[in-house]
Structure 1
Amino acid sequence: MNAPNSVIDQRMEAERIYGWITDLCSSEGRLVAMLELSERRSQVESLGHLLWHSFGAVAGLLQEIMSIYPSVLTNVLSYQESQRICAAIGLFQAMASDRCIALQLIRCEFMSYLMPMLRLTPQTRSVEHVRLSVLGVVCGLLKSDHKEVVTYFLGTDLMPHVLHNLELGSSMSKVLCAFALFRILENEVGLSFVGNTMARKMHLIHTLARVVHQLTLEMEPRVLKHVVRSYFRLADHPQCLVLILKHLPPQLRNGYFCKEKLPGYENANMELAKLSCKLANKEAQIYKGKE
Structure 2
Amino acid sequence: MTDLFHDLAPLLWNAFGIAAVFLQEIISTYPALSPPTLTPAHSIRVCNALALLQCVACHPDTRMLLIKAYIPLYLYPILRTTNMSAPYEFLRLASLGVIGALVKANTKEVFTFLLSSEIIPLCLLNMEIGRETTKTIATFIVEKIMSDEVGLDYVCATAERYFAVGRVLDIVLESLEKQPSPRLLKIIIPCYARLSSNPSRAGLALTSNLPDNFGDVTFIDGLREDPTTWNWVKQLLDNARANQARSVIGRGGGGGIDDNVAPSSE
Q: Same fold (TM over 0.5)?
A: yes
Aligned-CA RMSD value:
2.1
Q: Please say if 1:69 is aligned against 2:27.
A: no
Q: Please say if 1:227 is aligned against 2:188.
A: yes
2:8 aligned partner = 47
Contact 1:95 1:101 in 2 (8 A): yes
1:121 aligned partner = 82
Segments of structure 2 that go 5 or more residues without pairing to the other structure are 252-266
The structure that has the greater radius of gyration is: 1
Correspondence 1:261-272 to 2 at 5 A: 267-272=228-233
Q: Please say if 1:277 is aligned against 2:228.
A: no
The change in CA–CA distance for 1:261 and 1:246 in structure 2 (over 3 A counts) is: closer
Cα distance in 1 between the residues matched to 2:165 and 2:74: 26
Q: Bigger shift: 209-218 or 80-89?
A: 209-218
- Deviating 4+ runs (over 4 angstroms): none
Structure number with greater CO (CA < 8 Å, separation at least 6) is 2
Contact 2:100 2:141 in 1 (8 A): yes
Cα displacement (A) at 1:42: 5.0
Cα distance in 2 between the residues matched to 1:246 and 1:257: 18
Residue identity opposite 1:216 in structure 2: E
Segments of structure 1 that go 5 or more residues without pairing to the other structure are 1-39
Q: Please say if 1:167 is aligned against 2:128.
A: yes
Aligned counterpart in structure 1 of residue 202 of structure 2, from 222, 235, 240: 240
Correspondence 1:184-263 to 2 at 5 A: 184-237=145-198, 238-255=200-217, 256-259=219-222
Cα distance in 1 between the residues matched to 2:113 and 2:63: 12
The structure carrying a bigger helix percent of its residues is 1
Contact 2:43 2:88 in 1 (8 A): yes
Cα displacement (A) at 1:277: 2.1
Cα distance in 1 between the residues matched to 2:224 and 2:5: 33
Cα distance in 2 between the residues matched to 1:100 and 1:190: 24
Contact 1:205 1:247 in 2 (8 A): no
Q: Secondary structure at the match of 1:99?
A: coil
Q: Bigger shift: 177-186 or 197-206?
A: 197-206
Q: Secondary structure at the match of 2:176?
A: helix
Residue identity opposite 1:54 in structure 2: A
Contact 2:152 2:195 in 1 (8 A): yes
Question: How many residues align structurally?
Answer: 249
Residue deviations 1:234-283 (CA, integer Å, cap 9, x gap) = 12222211111111112123331432776xx5643343233212321343
Contact 1:259 1:269 in 2 (8 A): no
Residue deviations 1:62-90 (CA, integer Å, cap 9, x gap) = 22222232213433210110011011111
Cα displacement (A) at 1:210: 2.2
